[in-house]
Amino acid sequence: MKLETLAIHGGNIVTDSENPVIQPITLSTTFIHQPESMIYARANNPNRKALEQLLAGLEKGVDAAAFSSGNAAGVAVFQALEPGSHIIAPDDMYHGLKNAILSMFKGIVEATFVDMTDLEKVADAFKPNTKLVWVETPSNPLLKITDISAVANIAKEKGAILACDNTFATPVFQNPIDFGANIVMHSSTKYFGGHSDIMGGALITKEKDEFWEKVKNVQISGGAVPSPMDCYYLCRSIKTLPYRMKGHAEHAIVLANFLSTHEAVEQVYYPGLKTHPGHLIAANQMTGFGGVLSFQIKGEAADADRVISKLRYFTNATSLGGVESLIERRAASEGPDTLTPQNLIRVSVGLEHLYDLLEDLENGLK
């Protein structure tokens, strides 16, 4: 099946005797004992099974694990590591997962945060106890691009697992397993859900090895699993994912070009721009450049806040990936320890009419 067909049919497992066109929601927490049956909803559920089958297919993996949030998914990978393990992660790693490493896992694992676009720095960061390399590309919120294949080669040579956060690109535009990643992570809350009303996370694996069994044990024993309702709605939302992503990307490149020539803008971060330092790598490993961009206003935090306050169609809110356009001064959300420039604005470009978005931005920048 091609991607668009898989998105529609890949998560629709119907066993009901009435043969409904769409898989029903199974709310039961327990199941009658019979051969090959599910036993208890924390371990498995028909709707979660359908979602995980769909996600594995979309990311070209062999298995998937669904979680109640993106952070729960990422943390499950860290939990599966042996105590004393060393992690190499991006210096601009999503702040929620970076905070988890530095707080929850303090004294349990150690981490080195490096610029993942600099392969020499990545190689130099390895230690004898390095077990995991974490890649996030495009990154949040600076839209840095990491060469997945190059980092995968280094990790393989050193005997480390490579995990890739693919939330921004989605499997519509990028399949990290094709480039050597062992595990792919998603915040399902974002583009998979697509309407800012479902929370979830997911991991997809290239192979069912010993480490993956540990991850699955964390999922089932830890119990941070999505509800049947959330799994159902995620499967439903993913049916339109390929077409939504195309719309997000089409709008984002136009807005990026508009902002890059505006006199009030200092810099634009979007891998679809030929001026982006990672553009050629992105063009090699992505089939589209996504729907998120960031830009720096000429001025300070107050100037960025003033621009946001004037906007009509861009909602000042955290998160991304919904059909509506969201905007925020990212440093204000990340807290006092953030390395994000104070005048940087992150935009999740929505599916409103393009002319309305352009007019709104133009008025906000006056």
Count of other CB atoms within 10 angstroms of residue 44: 16
- Rounded Cα gap, residues 209 and 231, in angstroms: 25
Q: Which two tokens stand for residue 282?
A: 């992105």
Place of tokens 């393989």: 156
Catalytic-residue membership of 42:
yes
132 in Cβ contact with 155 (< 8 Å) = no
Beta-carbon contacts of residue 33 (< 8 Å; ≥ 6 apart)? 39
Name the nearest CA neighbour of 259 among 197, 195, 349: 349
Q: In what order do the strands lie in the sheet with 130-136?
A: 63-67, 201-205, 183-187, 161-165, 130-136, 86-90, 110-114
The active-site residue out of 48, 94, 330, 360 is 94
The active-site residue out of 48, 144, 190, 244 is 190
Radius of gyration of the CA atoms of the chain, in A: 21
Give me the residues paired with residue 315 across strands: 326
Residue 335 DSSP class: -
Catalytic-residue membership of 165:
yes
Backbone φ and ψ of 296, nearest 5°: -105, 130
Place of tokens 């668009």: 4
Give me the residues paired with residue 292 across strands: 348
Catalytic-residue membership of 94:
yes
Please count the CA atoms within 13 angstroms of the CA of 210 that sit on its side-chain side: 2
The active-site residue out of 165, 206, 239, 270 is 165
- Catalytic positions are 42, 94, 165, 190
